Structure 1
Amino acid sequence: MLVTLFFFVVGSVLATINFTWWTSLPSLPPISFVQSFGAIGGIAVSLAIFAAIAALTVVVEKRRNGVLEKEPASPREGFSRYLRGPWPLVFGAVALALLNFATLAIAGRPWGVTSAFALWGAKGAQLIGIDPTAWAYWQQPGNAKALAESVFADITSVMDFGIIAGAMLASALAGRFAPSFDIPLRSVLAAVAGGLLLGYGARIAYGCNIGAYFSGIASGSLHGYLWAVAAFAGNIVGVRLRPWFFLERSFVRKIDG
């Protein structure tokens, strides 16, 4: 994971070098369901799309497997389940919605993650003698201000630090915190390639599955759905390539904590 994160940062800052080239390409105008149909109409359109996706998923799953896969039963009950997981899917969905609302109220914008990685990469570049202020991306007022200040003054960076700390705490509580440095070379190569693609792609797409997809759809923008279509196509390719990079196992290791 650390290898992936490092090259995610590298890919993000590399994307800022020629970011203006990407933004100069022909593009569609922004399309907002909220602006086109009003708040109620925009929500209705999104709910209709969600229903269509859910119905299609049910049809495809039943045709392939005969029945729908059930949510795995948790070996824990009560407070222990919420402390150590796994959470019920509905509970997780509600928590994400509430946290995104809290982010909007506190930060003044929908939840985003990856802009901080570009900032970290730019500050790292400065440490080794590279001047990112010569790149147009870092000459934009907001980005220039973030680069000049401490990372702890950047809301997205602080949130990312919290996410990393929270993920480590959650894995420790679940009994799954087990750092390992015995990583096959192919897996390392996958982490490097995947990290670079994630970082570069997230920057030119104005976000990852959080900022571009989750928050894009939540804000009523068509681009969130377009991102989902492209991500789905990429996942098909990734699943095909996965056996080459990773040792696939036919069993799931049980962890009882």
Structure 2
Amino acid sequence: MEAVTNVKKSLSTTVVKPLNPIQKPFVTLGIIASIILFTMIVMTVSWTQGVLFIIGLALGLTLLHARFGFTSAFRRLTSVGNVQGLQAHLGMLAVATILFGIILATGFSFSGIAPTGYVFPVGVSVVFGSFLFGIGMQLGNGCASGTLYNVGGGNAPLFLTLVGFIVGSTIGALHFPWWTSEAMPSLGAISLAETTGFGYVGGVLLQLAVFAGIYGITVQIARKKNPPSMKPLPTTTGLKKLFRGSWPLLVAAVVLAILNALTLAVRGNPWGITSAFALWGSKVLMFFGVDVSSWGYWAGRTQQLTDSVLFDSTSVMNFGIILGAFIAATSQGTFKLKAFTPGVTMAALIGGVMMGYGARLAFGCNIGAYFGGIASLSLHGWVWMIMALAGTYLALFIRPLFGLSNPNPKDSIC
């Protein structure tokens, strides 16, 4: 009975408490910067690109308000058996799967671009890349989305993780043709809707059944391990909660699913993050005279290398995430640059490089491959999840070498 009671209590991820004062100058700065960048995007590219920037802002706000984590969720699960984060993921993926299924089955689009999900080959590159990513995100203390929203929130070490991410993604782009060549074993792209013959209705129902089964397993894990609960985030009441307080994980999960589906219906493919890092790194190398256009990764897409980054929808959304998180953090009064320590600095850089390289090999990160892949009914998304969890488990033994702590089962909160 005590274990069941603790499971019920663990569902709460927010608690009403006094909040820090609003950091008004910073909020104003964030809003002005967002308006200027939105105007530049619309004038330079299109209104559609401007809409994607706004979606990016909304994603950043949501991620920061809920401190919605993929890295922390995997770490809590593998270290102490805390399932709150994974259960939020299941809710997010279930809603996204239904919405993606409708959009992909009907071809619904706001922009006239035929929607296409993220369905990629299941091969050695995905297995190794996602495993590497799982280790990297635990060393870097943030995944792809976590890195961006923490940068916006003032977490200084994550700036180094972002630098490492860009370096790793660029190296991964250089090596990408080898990892995806015919010499590497691969099962090809497998869609639970199209490859299996189940259709989108059957594929969605099958995946929802899998989510239900995994949820049942998480409940049993929580009852057996009786893990420490997540530390509840401070929030407030009424409408102020929308702009000032923290959001419950499950609320954020649904919002993220809707925003990802909206991205699919606007630009024709789901939310992604790390392809922009490869682009940014390649542009830097071009500036220093490196002929990156000859790389196989950029074959048929060399125009991206010469265009402004404002033409790249993923880059635009990334800028939105950072600014959205900045506005959310300053509205909560929590924006503050955190200090560096030698161990954290080294771990951030190494973790970032590993994530960047792994993301290129695995056709995406925790957003493009895990979130977008599973929601698109792609088997490679499930493989990514399993291997990233395996990488996370290994990383639990590596983190202390850099002075990083893991959740302790003896603690009351984690």
TM exceeds 0.5? yes
Pair 1:165-2:326 in alignment:
no
The DSSP-based 3-state class of the residue aligned with 1:130 is coil
1:43 maps to: 204
Q: Deviations over 1:208-245 (max 9, x none)?
A: 01000001011111111110001111111223322332
- Structure 2 residue corresponding to 1:28, chosen from 183, 187, 193: 187
Partner of 1:223: 380
What is the aligned partner in structure 2 of residue 94 from structure 1?
A: 254
| Residue type at the aligned position of 2:202 | G
Unpaired runs of 5+ residues, structure 1, are: 253-257
Unaligned runs of 5+ residues in structure 2 are 1-157
Alignment match, 1:255: none
Do structure 1's residue 83 and structure 2's residue 238 form an aligned pair?
A: no
1:101-140 deviations in Å (ceiling 9; x for gaps): 11011111111111000000000111222221121112x2
Matched, 1:72 2:232: yes
Residue 90 of structure 1, CA deviation = 2.3
The residue number in structure 1 matching 2:334 is 176
1:122 aligns with 2:282: yes
Are the counterparts in 1 of residues 235 and 247 from structure 2 also a CA contact under 8 Å?
Answer: no
Pair 1:3 & 2:160 matched: yes
Q: What fraction of aligned residue pairs are identical, expressed as a percent? A: 46
Equivalent AA in structure 1 for residue 267 of structure 2: A
Aligned length: 248
Distance 2:362 2:404 in 1: 31
Q: Give per-residue Cα distances to partners, 1:158-191, cap 9 Å, x unaligned.
A: 11111111111112222221113x3111111000
8 Å Cα contact 1:74/1:81 also seen in 2: no
Paired residue secondary structure (1:177): coil
CA distance in 1, matches of 2:403, 2:333: 23
Deviation at 1:69, TM superposition (A): 4.3
Residue type of the alignment partner of 2:378: S
Q: Which residue of 2 aligns with 1:147?
A: 305
State which of 401, 406, 411 in structure 2 corresponds to 1:244: 401
Cα distance change, pair 196–214 in 1 and its aligned pair in 2 (3 A): same
Matched, 1:202 2:359: yes
Shift of the 26–248 alpha-carbon distance from structure 1 to 2, 3 Å rule, reads closer
Q: What is the one-letter code of the residue matched to 2:204?
A: I
The letter of the residue matching 2:355 is: L
Please state whether the residue corresponding to 1:33 is helix, strand or coil: coil
Letter of the aligned partner of 1:23 in structure 2? Answer: T
Q: Which amino acid aligns with 2:304?
A: A
**RMSD across aligned C-alpha pairs, in angstroms?**
2.1
- Runs (4 or more) in structure 1 with deviation over 3 Å come to 68-75, 246-252
Amino acid at match of 1:52: G
Specify the alignment match of 2:172 in structure 1. 15
Alignment CA distance shift 1:108-1:137 (3 Å): same
Question: Alignment partner of 1:28: what SS?
Answer: strand
Q: Distance in 2 between matches of 1:235 and 1:20?
A: 27
What is the TM-score normalised by the length of structure 2? 0.57
**TM-score (normalizing by structure 1):** 0.90
Counterpart contact for 2:169–2:356, Cα < 8 Å: yes
